[in-house]
Structure 1
């Protein structure tokens, strides 16, 4: 059994200070993640406001183009023409920014602080058990029979120097744990160990999320755009212009695709060009 003096008040104070330092460092890392996430989230809001409607329009055109090319493909297949089936377009997804998961509550600290009290001797345990379980103290015959049986167990445990069994009997009889096993140094040490492990584990989670957020594409894009804007450029306007150009191209492509006759040779060529643009090999 670990002695109740396995940790002194001075050692407890030192360990508690170290735990506090670790918790404060964890707090600064959580705040750093929160600040970076707020920065990236604010940029995402700008990005979506500037480009979101254009991406939605482009997605809608791609969906209509797919319907038109699917119709041509099915008609060509019915006419015995070998054609590759169009691939359904993927909608533009909104950027998802990593969210820090909630942390578990800290382990509960033993009440009353450190209690420095040596464990009682085997004889002291025996005497306490006798005082609690002696048959002469029974209030009824039924209780007396119960106590006689219990005292037989107490005597056997004492004769066998079975300290753990005597402790179990006393705790079951309602004896205060400190009077049975001594001070709570074991519990305090276990609390310190679990608290340190909990903070270190949480710290690893936070730092991993911080690294992932720093490497997130939207964070990298945010940095690049902020740097470009510092030079007087307007990269979001350039990106919007490119999207408008693509929208114009898709509208023209849709206009042609909806008016092609499946029987014409142009239908197969139209499907082939669209597959090339989407990166689909023949």
Structure 2
């Protein structure tokens, strides 16, 4: 066996190992996302809606208190802040729909990046049907990134396009070596990205809360149920407080 054939065998073996590692990392990441999403839904169903109701009452109380002293600018500001918090809680709990974010600004830098990508990857530059299909798929991703105002994504797509193993044509040992080397670099990059995404997911407060709740349940506890009871008690107290303030306002008007 020629030295280059031996090297190709070694690299293909490394590629196979990396492909298994990528599959494992991807599975870990997607499982983590799914479990966190399920917990988030469960959390909002049990306590999120109660928090939204409590924050709504707090805002109503703040506005009622501000109404007792209309000239008190600090009370007005506190009421506005409480109302914003109530709106946020309602959106998070799914009680009200979130407002769509404003469209991303299309800056001159993004336009330049798009032009560079189009020159490099446009399907019209393809010389074969397979190459045209590859370029078409990548340019579709570029178009999405451009619409989102995401210059970083466009630049990343250009780099990946230049390093794409599928751009290598030929089945001889030399072509297979280049293709395998590029594929290995691609796999290593994806492993690093997946590991970073996993770390970000685990660093979220929601994930930490999920772990705490899971561990408590394994010990026979019901932390979300206990929290729900506490919030319901606070809701009852706030309702009484709000009614008291309203009665004071009526009494003041009748004086």
Give the TM bin, normalised by the shorter chain. Answer: 0.5 to 0.7
2:40 to 40, 44, 48: 44
SS in structure 2 of the partner of residue 26 of structure 1: helix
Which of 1 and 2 has higher RCO (CA within 8 Å, sep 6+)?
Answer: 1
Distance in structure 1 (CA, Å) of the matches to 2:42 and 2:76 = 40
Gaps of 5+ in 2: 94-152
Distance in structure 2 (CA, Å) of the matches to 1:220 and 1:9 = 49
Count residues with an aligned counterpart: 179
Does the 8 Å CA contact 1:68/1:257 hold for their aligned counterparts?
Answer: yes
Question: Equivalent residue for 2:17?
Answer: 21
Cα distance change of structure 1 residues 196 and 72 upon mapping to structure 2, 3 Å threshold: farther
Question: Equivalent residue for 1:32?
Answer: 28
1:85 to 77, 91, 105: 77
Does the 8 Å CA contact 1:9/1:114 hold for their aligned counterparts?
Answer: no
Q: Deviations over 1:72-124 (max 9, x none)?
A: 343446xxxx86732512132638xxxxx9x9785306333225xxxxxxxxx
Does the 8 Å CA contact 1:76/1:263 hold for their aligned counterparts?
Answer: no
Distance in structure 2 (CA, Å) of the matches to 1:49 and 1:84 = 32
SS in structure 1 of the partner of residue 92 of structure 2: coil
Does the 8 Å CA contact 2:50/2:232 hold for their aligned counterparts?
Answer: yes
2:92 to 68, 91, 94: 94
When Rg is computed on C-alpha atoms for both structures, the one with the higher figure is 1
1:197 paired to 2:177: no
1:12 to 8, 11, 20: 8
Question: Equivalent residue for 2:223?
Answer: 235
Question: Equivalent residue for 1:135?
Answer: none
Gaps of 5+ in 1: 1-5, 96-100, 116-184, 265-282
Question: Equivalent residue for 1:68?
Answer: 64
Q: Deviations over 1:198-232 (max 9, x none)?
A: 22221111101112222322222222222222222
Cα distance change of structure 1 residues 209 and 45 upon mapping to structure 2, 3 Å threshold: same
Question: Equivalent residue for 1:57?
Answer: 53
TM-score, with structure 2 as normaliser: 0.58
SS in structure 1 of the partner of residue 77 of structure 2: coil
Q: Deviations over 1:167-216 (max 9, x none)?
A: xxxxxxxxxxxxxxxxxx3x555433432222222111110111222232
TM-score, with structure 1 as normaliser: 0.53
Distance in structure 2 (CA, Å) of the matches to 1:21 and 1:33 = 18
2:200 to 165, 187, 212: 212
Does the 8 Å CA contact 2:66/2:72 hold for their aligned counterparts?
Answer: no
1:62-211 alignment, distance < 5 Å: 62-76=58-72, 85-86=77-78, 87-89=80-82, 90=85, 91-92=88-89, 94=92, 107-108=165-166, 110-114=168-172, 185=174, 188-211=176-199
Does the 8 Å CA contact 2:170/2:176 hold for their aligned counterparts?
Answer: no
After superposition, the CA RMSD in angstroms is 3.3
